[in-house]
Amino acid sequence: MHDVGRIAGVSQVTVSRALSDPSKVSPETLTKVMGAVEATGFVPNAIAGALASRKSRLVSALVPSITNVVYSSMVRAFSERLRAHGYQILLSETGFAPEAEEATVVAHLSRRPDAIMLTGIQHTPQARRLLLAAGIPVVELWDVSDSPIDLCVGFHHVDAARAAAEFARDRGYRVAATVTAADERACRRRTGFAERFTRDTGNPVPDFDTGGAASIAAGRQGLAGLIDRHGIGGGLIYCSSDIIAHGVMIEAQSRGLRIPDELAVIGFGDQEFARHLEPALTTVRIDLAQLGQSAADAVLSRLDGQTPPSPVIDLGFEIVARASA
């Protein structure tokens, strides 16, 4: 800035002002400064700016996995809205373990983000402490909590699972099983489904835990395991995600099981492919874009010094009844 100023015939501060708030300098000096900026290819050092202003214009986002469209869609919506307000997103994967998340939280907080978004409400006590001590807006996404760290935008997983169980019951299914990926929220949904279904039908709901991330292969193994171990030959399979459900459907079809007559399937997430499967997948829709936007809005209002009406926003879910169940 010093050099740019010398070329433009002004001081370093004037360059700073011209760049950060053009209305604070006269039109002539603005032109001169911009000319010098062009000529030198000067790109301001945001690190120095952040240190001086104590504002990084950086917002952290922590998600379990970036290759999972569910999370990346939320992040996209979250990022776009924040970018429109001049913030950049520092994104990291945390995996599905709170301990791994904690290390990432520390790494992010050291960059002094102006706000931070986390996925879910399960964090280590130390992570909660650090987050609280950071004194910045914190938004927990993809779940609702009774004791949010700060802000919380999501939906009630157990309610969603119960609604699916009731849907299954109302459709007349009396036998059900679940295929669940290794994810705390997926497990909570699985339990919510099983309890409600058992309460309403009297029948136990066996589970297959894929032990890993959601994939078609995991879904196929899930149905195969259910058939081999529990002798499941029909009824309904409640899956922790659409991907798993896709795998279950493929496995069923390869075994000659007709869907939904011999085996019904319910997914979770309503990804694009769900409606295009044959038969189309019955699933639970979550408005990912809305989730991301609301989280961004909540953060922005806090950054603006406002107190949002409610710290926790429940955006709900919707059962999408299609042909697979």
Q: Residue 97 binds what, of DNA, its own copies, none (CB under 5 to 8 Å, by partner type)?
A: none
Sign of CA dihedral 69, 225, 266, 155: negative
Other C-beta atoms closer than 10 Å to the C-beta of 46 total 13
Two structure tokens written together for 183: 């994810």
Nearer to DNA by Cβ, of 31 and 254: the residue is: 31
Nearer to its own copies by Cβ, of 247 and 308: the residue is: 247
Q: Which residues bind its own copies (CB under 8 A)?
A: 41, 43-48, 50-51, 56, 58, 66-67, 69, 72-73, 75-76, 79, 88-93, 106-112, 129-130, 133-134, 215-217, 220, 246-247, 250, 253, 272-273, 276, 278
Two structure tokens written together for 98: 């709170």
Among 6, 7, 29, 117, binds DNA (CB under 7 A): 29
Nearer to DNA by Cβ, of 6 and 229: the residue is: 6
The DSSP line for 38-58 is: HHHT----HHHHHHHHT---E
Q: Residue 93 binds what, of its own copies, DNA, none (CB under 5 to 8 Å, by partner type)?
A: its own copies
Rule CB under 7 A: say whether 51 interacts with DNA.
yes
CB of 76 to its own copies, least distance (A): 6
**Interface with DNA in residues 55-94 (CB under 7 A):** 55
Token look-up 């809305």 returns: 290
Around 127, how many Cα atoms within 13 Å sit in the side-chain half-sphere?
26
Q: Residue 10 binds what, of its own copies, DNA, none (CB under 5 to 8 Å, by partner type)?
A: DNA
Q: Residue 29 binds what, of DNA, its own copies, none (CB under 5 to 8 Å, by partner type)?
A: DNA
**CA 321/CA 325 separation, integer angstroms:** 7
How many residues bind to DNA according to rule CB under 7 A?
26
**CA 131/CA 312 separation, integer angstroms:** 17
What is residue 282's DSSP assignment?
Answer: B
Rule CB under 7 A: say whether 19 interacts with DNA.
yes
Sign of CA dihedral 117, 121, 123, 125: positive
Rule CB under 7 A: say whether 36 interacts with DNA.
no
Helices (H), the chain: 2-8, 12-20, 27-40, 46-53, 69-83, 98-109, 125-134, 157-170, 184-201, 216-230, 242-254, 288-303
* 3-state class (DSSP) for residue 290: helix
What is residue 137's DSSP assignment?
Answer: -
Q: Residue 66 binds what, of DNA, its own copies, none (CB under 5 to 8 Å, by partner type)?
A: its own copies
Q: Which stretch in 21-29, 87-95, 183-191, 197-205 sits in contact with DNA by CB under 7 A?
A: 21-29
Rule CB under 7 A: say whether 304 interacts with DNA.
no
Among 6, 11, 83, 126, binds DNA (CB under 7 A): 11
Return all residues near 132 (Cβ < 8 A) that are at least 6 apart: 138, 149
Q: Report whether 16 contacts 33 (CB < 8 A).
A: no
Rule CB under 7 A: say whether 31 interacts with DNA.
no
CB of 110 to DNA, least distance (A): 8
Q: Which helix (H) or strand (E) holds 283?
A: strand 283-285
Q: Interface residues with DNA (CB under 7 A)?
A: 1-2, 5, 10-14, 16-17, 19-20, 24-26, 28-29, 44-45, 48-49, 51-55
